[in-house]
Structure 1
């Protein structure tokens, strides 16, 4: 009868144990789902320094608890799959080695912090003295504590998180590089395809072109009796030929180059401008620019045929032959250089010839090889102002450099906007532009903005050096500020609208800059400019001439005489001594190069210059 209550309570106990097991299974599933995903040890609920046997035992115990067939939890299947992936991770020797290295690094960081914190702890020292293994035994006991295990878990999360972030960043870079390689391969494939199609179309139309020419000759023979040859009025043929020459020379671009050279001529002139010389300089520069542009098109016939913007030019369209274009380039180039040499001076002619060689021999081949072609082209564009200045003055100075730098820095935002707007056309033509290797456009926009900023100090430099009046500094700063704002907007958003806005603002900037420069220019008097610069340097204490030192020596002797007279007087009058730091009027400047006695260096500590007599 005593066993009856126990037998009656067995169902209750079984129900209780089943409920407890259900709670344990639910807690295990939640633990696995909430564990750190990058650490399989944490997912399995193991210490990080466990052995392989403990790994298998723990996996067996946890997998039985969360098996979908035995666990009623709705996410038991997810937890079971996580356990399987964690076991697979730890059974892979390479992946386990990488994980153990990261955990060991986290452990060493914790131990290093603990050693630093307990360096002067008397309790730790006492425990080390009592332990048979010394400090090593104390560290082992500390590592075995639950607090260290929790700290190790937290630190390992940081280390593994940083490693995963680096891995994902590297994967992203690799993916971007692969995407860029595929895009370049696609563009190259498209380029080759376009070339093949163009050659096929050209060969296919050969018969038609020959037949059309034969028909034209036949009609010309029939109508040749009396009147113009072929029945076509010469003015029409002449106009067609002139249109071809206009396109060969890129007339608008050549006029822009000529305008910058003319501006350089006017800026480099003295009080009176030689208008006849200006006319010869303009003509010679235009012919030299036409020669360079024609040679550029002769070299790029196949590339121009692939671009919508240039396919209708005379050479790709077949309206002119290559020998005809070369003859035109030779006549224009030789004639332009001859005019510059005979009507201006040798320096202007040498600059013109060098610029033709740089444009046709370096810049043009470089367009299909490197993105650096834009910078070389900017150098080509900066030479015409130097040509004009040299033609007017016979030499180059700082004023010519300021004008050339203005054109150079202006070209970068201008051409970066063009490269972004026409990047598809450039890709079809096979050119290497920065916008094609910069899909996001950030580098392209930053180059435009950076060079816009470089334009800002040019106005200040021109006024300080006496090339222009101070008003030019203000006007240049205003127009440069507008260009910088447009470039900054392009940096913030690389859209087609912002690129077009930057292009239009650059087209407005250059004439405003040139007109303001010419409106406020000062006559190009090298001696006066040298005297002004020397005066600026003297006011800053950076230059002293021989006359300055002699006058200062005489004033010093006079001051010493006054001091002596004041101290020896019997009426008790105070001595007259110069006030320290008082400014004296500077004597007229004599050119130090002519005197042969000058010292161009700042005075340090009030000491006399080197070589001065004591």
Structure 2
């Protein structure tokens, strides 16, 4: 007689802490912020880099903790999120709230030590994510537009940290990451459509996995590519891009566009996953290319 053993996931206080603050997402935000700082800084200050990394991490961690408190009942309905600390009951709302508040204070305080504008944008990011984006997710697909604002802040936050100035340069970095959010999150919304539906979330622009959504994904991918090569034309102030770098950036964008078109043709969850993965690779490599180009140009 054979016995079937169901594997269990061991949850520790550390693993729950990583989950409540979404450590991997937070680290990706830190990466974007530091890349923006390298682009804006005349001379690199390791102290500012460290402060920006810590402040950015706390800022995103706070937003995610607040989000999981607000959505704990809905998270419990979805396969992807039902084992989150608060949704599963392993962590109390009070504990999560304490973490969120401490992270908010630390995040804004650390960013303020860099300069006031950096702290202001950090505070705006936390507010929009928790107070506007999160409640709207169960009401309207327009929530993605609101969520794209705090999602686009990190790249430009680094430039503001370096220069204490908001102008065309950080505005361009913001626009690049803002438009990128749509194909990225709509791809996620596509392959997690059924799971999101269990929680009552409206993530796709048409509310369905249809051609209308696929067309909008293609359009926003094109806009992302166009914004990403604008600095090569010399119209974005101190944010510049060499012709070689622009060609590389364009090529990376065309790869992402290829997968967006494949989603339109195939309309499958597999195609949506491929687009999501290509979008993550795209935004990461774009930031690396921008930074390398600045220092070798």
Q: TM-score, normalised by structure 2?
A: 0.91
The separation in 2 between residues aligned to 1:414 and 1:258, in whole angstroms, is 18
Shift in CA distance, 461/406, structure 1 to aligned 2, threshold 3 Å? same
The separation in 1 between residues aligned to 2:91 and 2:243, in whole angstroms, is 51
Q: How does 1:119-518 map to 2 (within 5 A)?
A: 240-270=12-42, 272-342=43-113, 344-434=114-204, 437-439=207-209, 441-465=210-234, 467-518=240-291
Deviation at 1:347, TM superposition (A): 0.3
Shift in CA distance, 340/365, structure 1 to aligned 2, threshold 3 Å? same
Q: Which residue does 1:202 correspond to in 2? A: none
Deviation at 1:504, TM superposition (A): 1.8
- The structure with higher relative contact order (CA 8 Å, sep 6+) is 2
Give the SS at the match of 1:433. coil
Shift in CA distance, 478/472, structure 1 to aligned 2, threshold 3 Å? same
The separation in 1 between residues aligned to 2:205 and 2:270, in whole angstroms, is 16
Contact preservation (8 Å) 2:65, 2:96: yes
Deviation at 1:430, TM superposition (A): 1.1
Task: Give deviations 1:10-42, integer Å, cap 9, x for gaps.
Answer: xxxxxxxxxxxxxxxxxxxxxxxxxxxxxxxxx
Shift in CA distance, 313/460, structure 1 to aligned 2, threshold 3 Å? closer
Q: From the CA coordinates, give the structure whose radius of gyration is larger.
A: 1
Contact preservation (8 Å) 1:483, 1:502: yes
Deviation at 1:435, TM superposition (A): 6.6
The separation in 2 between residues aligned to 1:478 and 1:433, in whole angstroms, is 28
The separation in 2 between residues aligned to 1:424 and 1:264, in whole angstroms, is 36
Task: Give deviations 1:335-373, integer Å, cap 9, x for gaps.
Answer: 11111112x000000000111000000000000111101
Deviation at 1:402, TM superposition (A): 2.0
Contact preservation (8 Å) 2:142, 2:205: no
Name structure 1 gaps, 5 residues minimum.
Answer: 1-238, 524-614
Deviation at 1:398, TM superposition (A): 1.9
Task: Give deviations 1:184-226, integer Å, cap 9, x for gaps.
Answer: xxxxxxxxxxxxxxxxxxxxxxxxxxxxxxxxxxxxxxxxxxx
The separation in 2 between residues aligned to 1:331 and 1:317, in whole angstroms, is 22
Contact preservation (8 Å) 2:124, 2:150: no
The total of aligned residue pairs comes to 282
The separation in 1 between residues aligned to 2:276 and 2:156, in whole angstroms, is 25
Runs of 4+ in 1 over 6 A off after TM superposition: none
The separation in 2 between residues aligned to 1:435 and 1:496, in whole angstroms, is 16
Give the SS at the match of 2:294. coil
State the Cα RMSD in Å: 1.6
Contact preservation (8 Å) 2:152, 2:175: yes
The separation in 2 between residues aligned to 1:433 and 1:280, in whole angstroms, is 34
